[in-house]
Structure 1
């Protein structure tokens, strides 16, 4: 349950755009938290036979011990269709919703780059971004835009673009 599902997905993995099925997944808008909790409780009960442990890559602090299912895609697609038929806004595929949210956050990238430069120095002097390093978070954030084919050309500096091209884990194909 999350008021901001993108923040929740990010809590599960900084590379949520690779971790979750953005092409097959969907998200529905509830009118309030109570309604969303009712949906969640209903579907957790209905999908109990598909309950699975959280993936090993999910940090323990993210919790979510009861939010994982295996082999439940047909039932989950049915849930999305039922909600849509009842008039709820269902964003399908999830990729479109995530792309829209990232586009809304483009303005924050410039401020984020400035903060990173204050912390780490000029981007053209940054080291590689190993997964245990704070710079990995910068790389993962920018890789979300690359993975969803959102151009960054006029958003980040040339030095940041050069650093990202050396560190990105997203292919350009």
Structure 2
């Protein structure tokens, strides 16, 4: 099955895990926030976004070429997917241990070659979440409707709470997105 390329930029990401271990996930995506959220339900904490660069490429093909070159460069550092990551998210061959310096050098080379490099992914994430606040407000409305109808599962509350906390971690004011009773149901006091 062939995927159709989205118009617009595509990003090579070097996603660093939070914590003391030098562990990286390397991949490409036209929508890094959606991709990263597939790896871990609390992706915004699991990854050190301040030290996770994005290399912006004009096309998916350009991003794939960068990704392939970086994978080859890091081949000796390949490691298994961390147990804390969701296996169904894919990308099992794109994890690397002890490769931060080599990956940083590669990203610096991309900047030297004229690619736009976002050294700190937090600004990109904040902008994406801000653009999607209307979607999150719809999710909160559906949560409230499900609660009223008595069809709200605890897993749904947990998933929406994680989504809410991701938005809050990047500066969203949730009080304007949902009624107080919905926020209290999620355990989010504003």
Are residue 155 (structure 1) and residue 177 (structure 2) matched?
A: yes
Is the 8 Å Cα contact of residues 26 and 91 (structure 1) preserved in structure 2? yes
Q: Is residue 5 from structure 1 mapped to residue 32 from structure 2 by the alignment?
A: yes
**Residue 74 in structure 1 maps to residue 81 in structure 2:** no
- Displaced runs of 4 or more, over 3 A: none
What are the equivalent positions in structure 2 for 1:2-81 lying under 5 Å apart? 2-81=29-108
Q: Does 1:106 align with 2:133?
A: yes
How far the C-alpha of 1:22 sits from its partner, in A, is 0.5
Gaps of 5+ in 2: 1-27
Query: What do residues 53-85 of structure 1 show as CA deviations (whole Å, max 9, x unaligned)?
Result: 101122221111111111111122222222222
Unaligned runs of 5+ in 1: none
TM-score (norm 2): 0.77
Deviation at 1:17, TM superposition (A): 0.4
Q: Which has the higher strand share?
A: 2
Give the aligned partner of residue 89 of structure 1: 116
Deviation at 1:147, TM superposition (A): 2.0
More helix by share: 1
Offset at 1:167?
Answer: 6.0
**Aligned 8 A contact 1:6 1:98 in 2:** yes
> Which moved further from structure 2: 109-118 or 134-143?
109-118
Q: Separation in 2 of the partners of 1:167 and 1:156?
A: 11
**Is contact 2:141-2:178 (8 Å) kept?**
no
The TM-score with structure 1 as length reference comes to: 0.83
CA-CA distance at 1:111 after TM superposition: 1.2
Bigger shift: residues 72-81 or 4-13? 72-81
| Greater CA drift, 148-157 or 49-58 | 148-157
State the 1:8 CA deviation.
1.0
Secondary structure, in 3 states, of the residue corresponding to 2:108? helix
Q: How many residues align?
A: 163
Return closer, same or farther for 1:167/1:52 CA change in 2, 3 Å cut-off: farther
Q: Give distance in 2, aligned partners of 1:79 and 1:156.
A: 43
Match of 1:135 in 2: 157
